[in-house]
Amino acid sequence: MTLMYLDAVLFCLFVWWFSTGAIIYLDGLPRSTFKYSMVGSTIVTFLALRGLKNSAYDTTAHGAYVAFACGVLAWGWQEISFYMGFVTGPRKQPCPEGCSGWKHFLHAIQTSLWHELAIIASACIVVGLTWHAPNQVGTWTFMVLWWMHQSAKLNVFLGVRNLNEEFLPEHLGFLKSFLKKKPMNLLFPVSVTVSTVILVLMVQAAMVPGSDHFHRDGATFVATMMAFAILEHWFLVLPLPAAKLWEWGLASRDEKKPFDAVVVAGFLGAGKTTFMRRLLAQPSDAGKTIVLVNDFAAVGVDGSLLSGQGADVVELPNGCICCSLKSDLSRQLNDVVARYAPARVLIEPSGVADLASLLRVLNAPDLAPVVRSIDVTTVLDAGSFQVDFGRMQDHLAAQIAPAGRVVINKADLVPPVVLALVANTVRSIAPTAIIVGARFGQIDEGAIVNQGERSIAAGATEAAASNVLQLHRHEHHHEAHDQGANDHANDLAADHATDHGHGHAHDEAGVHGHGDGHEHDGHGHSHAHHHDHDEPAHVHADEDALGMKAWSAPLPETCDADVLQDVLDAVVKGRFGQVERVKGVVRAGTGWVRFDVAGGRASMTAFAAGKDEAPRVVAIGRAVDEARLEAAFQGCVRKGAAA
């Protein structure tokens, strides 16, 4: 008697196993193939719907097989359209760190809203094509698959042991923030119980004495699919290697190759972006390089400045590397690896970022397979170091301590004794770090060499060696003085910071305030902006960010350069509160300019804007008078706006 059902069971098993693996395989192919897969799937779906209609009144065994196969194929379009990213939902970002409860659930719904509506529409079509027809095998098959989908989706959201994240395509990596790992959830026993009841009813229907082939095979198909649904649910909670069933489907996915992570840290305005540009401009055989840039504000500027420097730029404003990191950055890095396959990833965290948290993320187990080495370079502003160190010693020490190399930027703006003081301070915090001086972020044309498991500054070329020797000479000279010399150096640092507030300024584009012809801001490489330039003024606050807030806003299409300079000078004088940093780009006259306030110095330089560049400004600080600051910048179209 068992042989009467074996053919239907084996056919169902093969269709379920093969169709699942085929979808996994297609999802793992390059994204350039997705449009062809989608077109093919759509054609197959139309044929399946036609098959459902034609078989609706066929009550033979052949009719049951056709209806079942067409039901599975009709469902396949739902899976392909979602996992290839064509029909998902309005939300395509991970859930923010710390989000929970109904808000978290609402975000989860937003990730697949269009997908769920498409399923409802498809279900209506399937029901309509077979309405009141005797052959409902295809319809019931579609409904069982829908039940499997919804139940499994809710269970992985609420928490299960095995999330099977390896089957999730990398372009949908943000969905991992909605998956929870725990032994079991309260919905799981309900799902299994309901599925088991349906399974028992369908088995009873298949085993009715005297039933014909159509009813027996049709009920067997539905019962077998429900049995697979129960099995898939148990795969979620039991320590079973379920992934082995479809391991062949993963063969289309490229193996992740590890990359070298280079972190360029430093406080606001120290010259991180300048140094990054110098680093990118140096010849390197490191392979493909990706730059991850994070601005503290919702609107980023640094990404535009780094574009066209020989690497793809991914800008992450107001997010992953800002203050709290954890899973957001981990997902972003995994996505970058899958999308770009880089050999090197340069990471520029915000000046107020928690560097220790960033390093913990890079050393986390989930990133261990892709992070080959971690190099930390910390950039300091020689002119403002003493003032900054006095205000936020712990923060600067946390940025210096893990560095393999410390770059004392803007070294030409301070006298030798102050440079020695900064170097001695760095040496006391990071005794083994390589310390080099820099001017406009430029150390030497010699770049970075790999020594052992971490990268350090080469220092082998004549210019780099000269910088190091100069600092060591100042250190020895400084150590020969008594405490009075140290006090004198502090006074010099404060005086020099004041004296240089008017003219000889560095900015993070690596040029003088009056321009020195070293701008190379072409946009020949991709630049992924994760923000909208047309959004209104935005404030980003975070208690962990040294008590600072970021304000950002779009600017008028064209600004008057003289008025803009007046506004920047007013910022330096403290007329808008304690503003630590200002940066932005705008059209002024016949071209674009990049403007900065960093280290108590204001500057404007020429800027080569990209095709889709938008004028914008970012300001960071404490107790910022946002309303007056916005009015001043918006008034740059008129003379006297900053008065």
Higher pLDDT pick, 623 / 308: 623
Higher pLDDT pick, 323 / 384: 384
Higher pLDDT pick, 155 / 467: 155
Which residues lie across from 434 on neighbouring strands? Answer: 405
- Amino acid 272 reads K
Q: Does residue 428 share a domain with residue 329? A: yes
The whole-number pLDDT of residue 95 equals 81
pLDDT, mean of residues 55-70: 95
The whole-number pLDDT of residue 167 equals 83
3-state secondary structure of 187: helix
482 part of a folded domain: yes
Higher pLDDT pick, 560 / 79: 79
Beta pairing, strands 616-622 & 549-554: antiparallel
598 part of a folded domain: yes
Split at pLDDT 50, 70, 90, the class of 521 is very low
Read off the tokens for 583: 């940066």
Q: What are phi and psi of 324, to 5 degrees?
A: -105, 135
Report d(CA 257, CA 640) in Å as an integer: 56
Sign of the CA dihedral 65, 66, 67, 69?
positive
Under a CB-based contact definition with an 8 Å cutoff, are residues 328 and 320 in contact?
A: yes
* Nearest Cα to Cα of residue 69 among 148, 146, 149, 141: 141
With both helix axes pointing from N to C terminus, report the angle between 61-83 and 213-237 in degrees, rounded to the nearest 10: 30
The whole-number pLDDT of residue 596 equals 82
Read off the tokens for 541: 């606050």
> Percent of the chain scored above 70 by pLDDT?
74
With both helix axes pointing from N to C terminus, report the angle between 137-158 and 34-55 in degrees, rounded to the nearest 10: 140
Q: Does residue 320 share a domain with residue 215? A: no
Higher pLDDT pick, 476 / 585: 585
* Nearest Cα to Cα of residue 519 among 588, 606, 611: 606
Would you put residue 613 in left (φ > 0), alpha (ψ -120 to 50) or beta? beta
Q: Does residue 559 share a domain with residue 490? A: no
Read off the tokens for 381: 């502003």
| DSSP sequence for 108-154 | HHHHSHHHHHHHHHHHHHHHHHTTT-S--HHHHHHHHHHHHHHHHHH
pLDDT beyond 70 at 185: yes
Split at pLDDT 50, 70, 90, the class of 327 is low
Report d(CA 301, CA 610) in Å as an integer: 12
pTM as predicted: 0.58
Higher pLDDT pick, 396 / 366: 396
Read off the tokens for 385: 């170091």
Among 252, 287, 315, the domain-final residue is 252
Split at pLDDT 50, 70, 90, the class of 328 is low
Read off the tokens for 300: 């980023």
pLDDT, mean of residues 370-397: 86
* Nearest Cα to Cα of residue 441 among 282, 557, 251: 282
Work out the number of other CB atoms within 10 angstroms of the CB of residue 208.
11
- β strands within 549-614, DSSP E: 549-554, 558-559, 578-588, 591-598, 601-607
Among 203, 227, 252, the domain-final residue is 252
Q: Does residue 300 share a domain with residue 181? A: no
Report d(CA 101, CA 122) in Å as an integer: 30
Judge residue 317's burial from the number of C-beta atoms within 10 Å of its C-beta, 0-12 exposed, 13-18 middle, 19 or more buried.
buried
pLDDT beyond 80 at 124: yes
Q: Does residue 87 share a domain with residue 211? A: yes
Split at pLDDT 50, 70, 90, the class of 2 is low
pLDDT beyond 50 at 530: no
pLDDT beyond 80 at 617: yes
The whole-number pLDDT of residue 549 equals 78
Q: Lowest-confidence range among 180-189, 336-345, 366-375, 463-472?
A: 463-472
Query: How crowded is the C-beta side of 221, counted as CA atoms within 13 Å?
Result: 32
Close Cβ partners of 391 (under 8 Å, ≥ 6 residues apart): none
Split at pLDDT 50, 70, 90, the class of 301 is very low
pLDDT, mean of residues 437-448: 58
The whole-number pLDDT of residue 295 equals 57
* Nearest Cα to Cα of residue 294 among 359, 358, 375: 358
Number of domains composing the chain: 3
Q: Does residue 267 share a domain with residue 216? A: no
Q: Does residue 76 share a domain with residue 45? A: yes
522 part of a folded domain: no
Report d(CA 585, CA 594) in Å as an integer: 4
Which helix or strand (DSSP H or E) is residue 290 part of?
Answer: strand 289-293
pLDDT beyond 80 at 540: no
* Nearest Cα to Cα of residue 135 among 76, 214, 239, 51: 214
Read off the tokens for 116: 């769920």
Among 499, 518, 547, the domain-final residue is 499
Q: Lowest-confidence range among 265-269, 281-285, 495-499, 587-591?
A: 495-499
633 part of a folded domain: yes
Q: Does residue 166 share a domain with residue 40? A: yes
Q: Does residue 207 share a domain with residue 337? A: no
- Cα dihedral 175→178→181→184 (10° resolution): -120
Q: Does residue 242 share a domain with residue 272? A: no
Split at pLDDT 50, 70, 90, the class of 304 is very low
Which helix or strand (DSSP H or E) is residue 312 part of?
Answer: strand 312-315
| Most confidently modeled range among 290-294, 379-383, 636-640 | 379-383
Q: What's the pLDDT tens digit per position in 192-240?
A: 999 999 999 999 999 998 889 999 999 999 999 999 999 999 999 988 7
Identify the residue whose tokens are 């919804």.
150
3-state secondary structure of 399: helix
pLDDT, mean of residues 334-351: 78
Sign of the CA dihedral 479, 481, 484, 489?
negative
pLDDT, mean of residues 243-254: 82
The whole-number pLDDT of residue 312 equals 64
Which residues lie across from 580 on neighbouring strands? Answer: none
pLDDT, mean of residues 367-396: 85
Q: What are phi and psi of 392, to 5 degrees?
A: -145, 65
Beta pairing, strands 289-293 & 344-348: parallel
Split at pLDDT 50, 70, 90, the class of 274 is confident
Report d(CA 246, CA 9) in Å as an integer: 19
83 part of a folded domain: yes
Work out the number of other CB atoms within 10 angstroms of the CB of residue 599.
29
pLDDT beyond 80 at 488: no
CATH code, domain carrying 411: 3.40.50.300
Q: Does residue 221 share a domain with residue 355? A: no
Whole-number average pLDDT of the chain = 76
Read off the tokens for 33: 């193939």
Split at pLDDT 50, 70, 90, the class of 465 is very low
CATH code, domain carrying 562: 3.30.1220.10
Report d(CA 404, CA 385) in Å as an integer: 19
| Most confidently modeled range among 135-149, 260-274, 515-529 | 135-149
Beta pairing, strands 448-451 & 344-348: unpaired
473 part of a folded domain: yes
pLDDT, mean of residues 94-108: 86
Under a CB-based contact definition with an 8 Å cutoff, are residues 641 and 635 in contact?
A: yes
The whole-number pLDDT of residue 469 equals 33
Which residues lie across from 345 on neighbouring strands? Answer: 261, 290
Under a CB-based contact definition with an 8 Å cutoff, are residues 336 and 289 in contact?
A: no
Q: Does residue 272 share a domain with residue 182? A: no
pLDDT beyond 80 at 246: yes
Could you list the residue range(s) of the whole structural domain that residue 295 is in?
259-499
Split at pLDDT 50, 70, 90, the class of 315 is low
pLDDT beyond 80 at 254: no
pLDDT, mean of residues 108-135: 96
The whole-number pLDDT of residue 314 equals 64
519 part of a folded domain: no
Split at pLDDT 50, 70, 90, the class of 445 is very low
